[in-house]
Amino acid sequence: MTRINELLQKIEELETELEQELQARREGLEYTIQRRKVRFTREVRAKQRAFLKKWLDYVYDSGPLIILTIPIIWGALIPCVILDVVVTIYQFLCFPIYGIPFARRRDYVVIDRQHLGYLNWLEKVNCMYCGYFNGVIAYVREVAARTEQYWCPVRHARPVKSVHGHYRTFFEYGDAQGYREGLEPARKELARKLRENLLGKKK
40: β partners = 31
| Average pLDDT over every residue of 9-27 | 78
Write the pLDDT tens digit of every residue in 81-101: 999 999 999 999 999 999 999
- Number of Cβ within a 10 Å radius of residue 63: 9
Distance CA 132, CA 174 (A): 39
Indicate the pTM of the whole model. Answer: 0.80
Write the pLDDT tens digit of every residue in 142-160: 999 999 999 999 999 998 8
Distance CA 184, CA 100 (A): 13
Residue 1 has pLDDT above 60, yes or no: no
3-state helix, strand, coil in the chain (%, to 5): 70, 5, 25
pLDDT at res. 111 = 93
- Concatenate the DSSP letters of all residues of 73-98 into one string: HHHTHHHHHHHHHHHHHHHHHHHHHH
Q: Phi and psi (nearest 5°) for 160? A: -110, 135
- Top-ranked range on mean pLDDT: pick from 110-114, 136-140, 191-195: 136-140
Distance CA 127, CA 111 (A): 8
Single out the residue of 21, 30, 7, 10 nearest to residue 155, CA to CA: 7
